[in-house]
């Protein structure tokens, strides 16, 4: 990262509250209840040698050394990538721990992602390194554990899990309508577009 932006703060904090202990709950139905929440921020930097153009050694030509210059425009004013995560959850146990439920809600935003985008080849380069946009992941995770049979010499545990995640491109840099990611088959391209999921496939259809 540039010397003006080569440090980042990555704090985290979590808090848990055990309801059954704090309120002195003693019940054959509700064995344990805990609420929890956490927040974390993580930074990220670019790959080594990204700030200045570098030369790569190639095979000698006619006995002479051969060097090639990078095809990526060195970035100016690059910022560190940032990921902010927020999570809330509850741990509940019933009937002397024969039934338990772990529920979690999370939201994660990644901003100032360090990516390479295509540029006109008339510049003498093919890509440019930039900070791009904001991508959000939001979802719920549920894990339920049941002990239908519990004997002295035999126990049957059953665990069920369910999860859902919504991925959305919240913002792109400047007036960019979409970010090209890569090419697929038959002229299909994979894009990141504002308001849509990351990795949408775009291409031509056949008129019938």
Res 137: pLDDT: 96
CA distances (Å), origin 72, targets 35, 56, 80, 170: 49, 13, 19, 26
**DSSP letter for each residue of 4-21:** GG------EEEEEEEHHH
Contact 110, 134 (CB under 8 A): yes
CA dist., res. 164 & res. 18, Å (int): 26
Q: Cβ atoms within 10 A of the Cβ of 32, count?
A: 16
Question: pLDDT tens digits, residue range 120-145?
Answer: 899 989 988 888 889 999 999 999 99
CA dist., res. 115 & res. 189, Å (int): 17
Res 156: pLDDT: 93
- Which residue stretches of the chain have pLDDT < 70? none
Res 50: pLDDT: 86
Res 94: pLDDT: 94
Res 85: pLDDT: 97
User: 3-state DSSP call for residue 93?
Assistant: strand
Res 111: pLDDT: 92
């Amino acid at each position: 990262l540039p010397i003006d932006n080569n440090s980042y703060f990555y704090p985290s904090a979590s808090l848990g509250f055990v309801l059954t202990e704090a309120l002195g709950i003693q019940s054959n139905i509700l064995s344990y209840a805990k609420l929890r929440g956490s927040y974390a921020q993580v930074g990220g930097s670019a790959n080594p040698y990204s700030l200045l153009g570098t030369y790569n050694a190639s095979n000698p030509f006619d006995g002479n050394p051969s060097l090639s210059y990078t095809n990526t425009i060195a970035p100016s004013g690059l910022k560190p990538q940032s990921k902010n995560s927020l999570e809330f959850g509850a741990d509940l146990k019933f009937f002397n721990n024969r039934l338990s439920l772990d529920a979690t809600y999370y939201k994660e935003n990644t901003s100032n992602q360090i990516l390479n985008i295509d540029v006109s080849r008339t510049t003498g380069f093919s890509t440019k390194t930039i900070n791009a946009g904001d991508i959000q992941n939001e979802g719920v995770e549920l894990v339920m554990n049941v002990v239908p049979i519990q004997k002295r010499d035999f126990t049957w545990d059953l665990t069920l899990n369910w999860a859902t995640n919504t991925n959305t491109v919240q913002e792109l840099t400047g007036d960019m309508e979409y970010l090209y990611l890569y090419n697929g088959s038959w002229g299909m391209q994979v894009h990141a577009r504002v308001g849509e999921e990351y990795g949408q496939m775009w291409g031509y259809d056949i008129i019938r």
